[in-house]
Amino acid sequence: MRKTLIPALGPRQVSATAGNNPRADSTFDTGAELGEYRRYHRRMPVAAAEPAVEQPAKWWDRFGQPVSMPTWREALRAVVLYGAVASIAITVLLSIARANNKELDKLPWTGDAGWYLTIAENGYDNEVPHGPNGEVLQSRLAFFPAFPALIRATHEITRLDYPYAGMLVSLIGAIFAAVGIFTLARGLVGERAGLISVGLFAIAPASVVQWIPYTESIATALIVWTLIAVLNHQWLLAGGLTFASGLVRPTTTLLVAAVGLAAIVAIVRKQDSWRPWVGGALAPLGIIASWGIIGSQAGQWDAWFEAEKAEHWDQRIDFGEMMFRVTKVVLKFQETQLIYLVTLFTISAAVVLWVALATDRRIPWVFVALVAMAMVLVAITSGGYTSKTRYLLPFMPLLLLPIASVLSKVRIPVLLAFFGVAAMLAGWYGAYLLTYTHESI
């Protein structure tokens, strides 16, 4: 009679011998041995299957999933939320301006807004102006044509004065931006975070320019909807929107690069047939058209590049020399104006938020690359240290996604308190920018 040494069998041997093999019962000579084996088998722990380890995706595989378009009700929720937060900020801004006896009808002419309104009313200069010593003077040729054209068209249609027509254009741009931000953020980090992203955009640093004749609202809307088109593989739409953005402001050259890179990846991966070719080719034509329009007005093909050299603007690539110099002055408390401190804080926070963005697998690589290019461009260009917060504003919807993700876990009463206080602070800082500081926004 054969004997079985049951304790010598491991769990894998037992599992392989009994239950899984119908012939296992025939290896025992007596029913007692078989019963003893089965009783032992029931006492043995069953080894759990090890979970599959997900391999980290390559950076080029982080292309993102298509996002669905919002319903009218969802879009309305985003617009109402933006309007509620912005209304608090605007109310605080106007209250402070009135308390300081500021003329409210002059606020829309602040900073670059005055240049855009002048172009809308009178057109471009006929040449690049120079001073007695040959220095380049400030002129209307430094501004791209689409935004003044929209202001003029709105004035002609509504018969509003130019400042109010400009504010209406900015408001419409902000509405489209709010819906786009909600659509994009919802697809990436969830619906609640999408709504929070809209609120954060309304209170971002320098958000005051969303409500006066500046290009930031229009530029933000074009950037966000272009990225949505890229996610949805709508290459012709992405190329068309990038073309339009190139008519609005020069920093949208970064969007040209981002769409071009995404199109190249799609072409290499043999996706979407001929459409990435056409979309990528269409993208840079807008900014080329802007240079051509301005050059034709001045009779000089490089008129825009020349106008950018004007004193007090001096926009050029200095590889961070000015940025480093002014930051050092601020850190030494040799410059303590609030606008300098907010600029330094915004740039520092942007670096941290970009790292959070880059390490989040939900965020497509093209978004991470776009924000990185924007931050590098802001760092290596001279002129307008205090304007760098505004330069980053059209890219803020992406930078603020990590904050929106965190706030989406917060209870509604806390969110209401947060946005209420933050909106009042945004209005207070907006009043400071428009009515107090003499530095460029």
> What Cα–Cα distance (Å) separates residue 413 from each residue in 86, 251, 409, 421, 425?
19, 38, 12, 12, 19
Burial class (CB in 10 A: 0-12, 13-18, 19+), 441: buried
Is the Cβ–Cβ distance between 199 and 77 less than 8 Å? no
Amino acid identity at 23: R
Same domain, 15 and 144: no
**pLDDT value for 5:** 43
Boundaries of domain holding 26: 6-43
Asked whether residue 313 carries a pLDDT value surpassing 90, the answer given is no
Asked whether residue 61 carries a pLDDT value surpassing 70, the answer given is no
Same domain, 39 and 70: no
Same domain, 32 and 95: no
Is residue 207 in a domain? yes
Same domain, 19 and 120: no
**pLDDT value for 102:** 87
Q: Which of 168, 175, 152 has its CA nearest to residue 108?
A: 168
Residue 385: count other Cβ atoms within 10 Å of its Cβ: 23
Is residue 287 in a domain? yes
For 87, phi and psi rounded to 5 degrees?
Answer: -65, -40
SS3 130: strand
H helices of 112-215, in order, are 112-122, 146-158, 162-189, 191-202
Which residue matches tokens 């034509």? Answer: 285
**Length, in residues, of the chain:** 441
Same domain, 337 and 403: yes
Asked whether residue 16 carries a pLDDT value surpassing 60, the answer given is no
Task: Compute the average pLDDT of residues 285-292.
Answer: 96
Same domain, 135 and 168: yes
Is residue 238 in a domain? yes
Same domain, 17 and 94: no
Asked whether residue 136 carries a pLDDT value surpassing 60, the answer given is yes
Same domain, 22 and 107: no
Q: Up-side HSE of residue 335: CA atoms within 13 Å toward CB?
A: 16
Number of domains in the chain: 2
Least confidently predicted of 301-310, 313-322, 357-366:
313-322
End-to-end CA distance of the chain: 97
Same domain, 146 and 273: yes
